Structure 1
Amino acid sequence: MNTAHRIRMNPTPEQAEYLKRACGTRRFVYNWGREQWEKQYQAYKHEQETTPEQERKLKPPTALALKKQFNALRHETYPWTGDVTKCVVEGAFDGLGRAYANFFAGRAQYPKYKKKGKSHESFSLSNDKFTMGSHWISIPGLGRFILDQRQITKGRGKLLRSLGTVNLAEKLRFVEQGSVRTPAKKRNQRKQVICEAVKILGATVSCEAGHWYVSIQVEIQKQRPLTPTPVVGVDVGLKQAAVVSDKRRLENQRPLALHLKKLGNLQRKLSKKQKTKDPETGRTTFGKNYEKQRRKVARKHQQIANIRRDIQHKFTTELARTCGVIGIEDLNILGMMANRKLSRAVADAAMGQLLQFLKTKVANAGGDLFIASRWFPSTKRCSCCGQVKKRMPLKHRTYECLACGLVLDRDLNAACNLAWFATDMLRQLHA
């Protein structure tokens, strides 16, 4: 099984400067590849339309060909790209290739240029280019970069390893069975995941709201846990984030609505900070106070997302450990976001994230997850006799069946129907 562990980094100002330069280099290389891809594709398309087949010479662009082309002129035209590890350049072209592959497969929009301050700042490291320790990670090229900045010539070999090591807030939670060391604190013991084998596949360093994180991708092998027996259905919504057929409920905390006033004040202050636009080049220059305020806004958004994510993580973890078979309903999130009266509440509930957590954790716990079609009448159907109503508006919070007389909460009735769907699918699976 492939999974990842995201860990907070605590770099020094010198180390943070290297990380920023690495992110900027990746952004530049990605944009260079995006520009060359468009030019070469237009030339290839023009040749296909105007030149006979026997005289055609151009081929459609690929990420591998663009990487070879960039490496051929890199040291002469862009020598500053050598200040960071070569994984930055390789990762940029890998990301460009995936972006175009997703576009051609219909999974994403056409790749866009990455803009400083707008795009997600990150870069990747291959598994053989970094070293993980207890609470540190050694990033290639970092120590030499700091030494070159300090212009130190003596003792380079001795200082290189220590300068290239970045402190981590915690150590990797996945531990091989033979090398288990029992932590002193019970809190750290609960974090450990004992595995038969652990193989590091790579890492991704990213910046979010001024904080640096590293996501370690690993391939683990561990025994499949005993599958619990209960079969339940989970109905997600706005008034209550999730309702389980066994009457467990997850209240919608609405973190965005609670922090909306504070967030509005911070954004209002941000709009008044100094920024000037050059009429000739069209570039906007932001002042230092603007950057400080922008970081405050970003951290408020991060706080809201962390509150929502923490609640959903705890709920889905408990559900995956106690239930063996779960039935959920596929939702048209984009269609719900199109409703201007409910779009903010739908975004605040993060129903898609809750369903994604369930998919991942149920699979890890050894359970089965069955997804009903978005046209499955979980809300309109009676969970007792199976009678389906023609209409069930949102204002009706109680389900009343005219056939059998069942009176039940609307969301609980939908959860019971999803539990029935999961039971039926499980029966067909083992038939």
Structure 2
Amino acid sequence: MKTAHKIRMNPTLEQVEYLKRACGTRRFIYNWGREQWEKQYQAYKAEQESVPEEQRVLKAPHALALKKQFNQIREQEYPWTYHVTKCVVEGAFDDLKKAYDNFFAGRANTPQYKKKGKSHESFYLSNDKFTVGSHWISIPGLGRFILDQRQTKKDRGKLLRKLGTVNLAEKLRFVEKGKASLPTKKRTQRKHVLCGSVKILGASVSCEAGHWYVSVQVEIKRELPPQPVPVVGVDVGLKRAAVVSDGRRLENQRPLALHLKKLGKLQRKLSKKQKTKDPQTKRTVFSKQYEKQRLKVARKHQQIANIRRDVQHKFTTELARTCVAIGIEDLNILGMMANRKLSRAVADAAMGQLLQFLKTKVATVGGDLFIASRWFPSTKRCSCCGHVKKRMPLKHRTYQCLACGLLIDRDLNAALNVLWFATEQLRQLHA
């Protein structure tokens, strides 16, 4: 199984300078590849339309050819890209390839240029270029970069390894049996995952709201835990984030609604900070106070996202560990976001994230997840007799069956219907 562990980093100011430079280099190379791709594709398309097939010489652009083209001109035109690890260049073209693959497959829109301050700042490290230790990670090229900035020649060899290691907030949670000693404290032991084998595939270093993180991707072999018996259905909504057919409920925390007043105050302060437009370069120049305030807004958004993510992680983990099969309903989240009266509440509930967590964790423990069609009448159908109503408005929080007289909570009725769907699918699967 392939998974990842995201760990917060605690870099020094010198190390932050290198990490920012690596992110900027990756962003520049991605934009260069995006520009060249469009130019070459336009030339290729024009040749396809005007030149006979036997006389055509141009080929459709692809990431590998662009990387070779960039490496040929890199030393003459962009020598500053050698100040960071070569993994940055390889990762940028890999990202470009994935972006166009998703575009041609219809999974995403046309790839856009990455803009400083707006795009997600990150870069990739291959598995043979870094080392993860106990509360530290070695970043390739970091120590040499710092020594060059200091312009010192004394004891360069002794300082190189120490300057190239960045402090981590915690250890890698995946531990191979027999190769590492487990901690003595029970609280710390719960954070470790014992595996038959652990193979590091790579890592991604990223910046979120001024904090640096490294996500280490690993491939592990682990024995599946014994499967529990229950089969449950889960109904996801706005009033309650999730209702399980066995009675468990996840209340909607509404973190955005609770912090909206504070967030609005921070954003109003941000709008009043100084920003000017350079008449020569046509670029917007932000003041230092603007950047400080922007960081406060970003950290408030991060706090809201962390509250939501923490609650959903705990709920989905418990559900995946205690149920052999789970039924959920496919939701038209984009359609709900189009409703201007519900869009903020839908975004605050993060139903798509909850469903994604559930899919990942059920697959991890070896359970079954059955997804009902969005046209499945889970809300309108009676969980007792199967009668389907014509309408069931949102204002009606109680379901009353016109055929058998059942009176039940609306969300619990939907969860029981999804449970029926999951049970039928499980029976057909093992028939």
Match in the other structure for 2:80: 80
TM-score by length of 2: 0.99
Match in the other structure for 1:272: 272
For residues 147-195 of structure 1, give each alpha carbon's deviation from its aligned partner in whole angstroms, at most 9, with x where no partner exists. 0000011211111000000000001000001124221332211010000
Q: Which structure 2 residues correspond to residues 131-150 of structure 1 after superposition, within 5 A?
A: 131-150=131-150
1:49 is displaced (CA, Å) by 1.1
The answer to whether the aligner puts 1:209 opposite 2:212 as a matched pair is no
Structure 1, unmatched stretches of 5+, are none
Q: Is the 8 A contact 1:228 1:324 kept in 2?
A: yes
Measure, in 2, the Cα distance between the counterparts of 1:180 and 1:404.
62
1:319 is displaced (CA, Å) by 0.8
Q: Is the 8 A contact 1:231 1:423 kept in 2?
A: yes
The answer to whether the aligner puts 1:420 opposite 2:414 as a matched pair is no
For residues 343-363 of structure 1, give each alpha carbon's deviation from its aligned partner in whole angstroms, at most 9, with x where no partner exists. 000000000000111111111
Structure 1 residue matching 2:125: 3-state secondary structure: strand
Measure, in 1, the Cα distance between the counterparts of 2:158 and 2:253.
52
Measure, in 1, the Cα distance between the counterparts of 2:279 and 2:319.
57
The answer to whether the aligner puts 1:391 opposite 2:381 as a matched pair is no
Match in the other structure for 2:258: 258
1:409 is displaced (CA, Å) by 0.2
For residues 224-265 of structure 1, give each alpha carbon's deviation from its aligned partner in whole angstroms, at most 9, with x where no partner exists. 111100011000100000000011111001000000000000
Letter in 2 for 1:44: Y
Match in the other structure for 1:401: 401
For residues 242-301 of structure 1, give each alpha carbon's deviation from its aligned partner in whole angstroms, at most 9, with x where no partner exists. 000011111001000000000000000000001001234320000100000000000000
Structure 2 residue matching 1:179: 3-state secondary structure: coil
Structure 2 residue matching 1:106: 3-state secondary structure: coil
Identity of aligned residues (%): 82
Match in the other structure for 1:297: 297
Q: Which structure 2 residues correspond to residues 3-14 of structure 1 after superposition, within 5 A?
A: 3-14=3-14
Match in the other structure for 1:89: 89
Match in the other structure for 1:159: 159
Measure, in 1, the Cα distance between the counterparts of 2:185 and 2:31.
47
Match in the other structure for 2:366: 366
Q: Give the root-mean-square deviation of aligned CA atoms.
A: 0.7
Measure, in 1, the Cα distance between the counterparts of 2:54 and 2:240.
65
Letter in 2 for 1:229: V
Match in the other structure for 2:170: 170
Q: Which structure 2 residues correspond to residues 45-64 of structure 1 after superposition, within 5 A?
A: 45-64=45-64
For residues 206-229 of structure 1, give each alpha carbon's deviation from its aligned partner in whole angstroms, at most 9, with x where no partner exists. 000000000000000011111100
1:144 is displaced (CA, Å) by 0.1
Measure, in 2, the Cα distance between the counterparts of 1:185 and 1:295.
36
1:321 is displaced (CA, Å) by 1.1
Measure, in 2, the Cα distance between the counterparts of 1:189 and 1:430.
37
1:12 is displaced (CA, Å) by 0.3
Number of residue-to-residue matches in the alignment:
431
Letter in 1 for 2:122: S
Match in the other structure for 2:111: 111
Letter in 2 for 1:237: G
Match in the other structure for 2:355: 355
For residues 387-407 of structure 1, give each alpha carbon's deviation from its aligned partner in whole angstroms, at most 9, with x where no partner exists. 111111111110001111110
Q: Is the 8 A contact 1:228 1:367 kept in 2?
A: no
Measure, in 1, the Cα distance between the counterparts of 2:59 and 2:367.
48
Measure, in 2, the Cα distance between the counterparts of 1:214 and 1:5.
8
Measure, in 1, the Cα distance between the counterparts of 2:280 and 2:10.
40
Measure, in 1, the Cα distance between the counterparts of 2:225 and 2:202.
27
1:367 is displaced (CA, Å) by 1.3
Q: Is the 8 A contact 1:226 1:366 kept in 2?
A: no
The answer to whether the aligner puts 1:130 opposite 2:138 as a matched pair is no
Measure, in 2, the Cα distance between the counterparts of 1:260 and 1:412.
30
The answer to whether the aligner puts 1:336 opposite 2:315 as a matched pair is no
Name which of structure 1's ranges 337-346 and 44-53 shifts more when overlaid on structure 2: 44-53
Q: Which structure 2 residues correspond to residues 61-72 of structure 1 after superposition, within 5 A?
A: 61-72=61-72
Letter in 2 for 1:343: S
Letter in 1 for 2:209: A
Letter in 2 for 1:422: A
Match in the other structure for 1:19: 19
TM-score by length of 1: 0.99
Measure, in 1, the Cα distance between the counterparts of 2:294 and 2:287.
11
Measure, in 2, the Cα distance between the counterparts of 1:98 and 1:159.
38
Match in the other structure for 2:224: 224
Letter in 2 for 1:227: Q
Measure, in 1, the Cα distance between the counterparts of 2:191 and 2:36.
46
Measure, in 2, the Cα distance between the counterparts of 1:387 and 1:96.
51
Letter in 2 for 1:156: R
Name which of structure 1's ranges 171-180 and 106-115 shifts more when overlaid on structure 2: 171-180
Letter in 2 for 1:272: K
The answer to whether the aligner puts 1:39 opposite 2:21 as a matched pair is no
Structure 1 residue matching 2:58: 3-state secondary structure: coil
1:87 is displaced (CA, Å) by 0.2
Letter in 2 for 1:35: E
Letter in 2 for 1:20: K
1:102 is displaced (CA, Å) by 0.2
Structure 2, unmatched stretches of 5+, are none
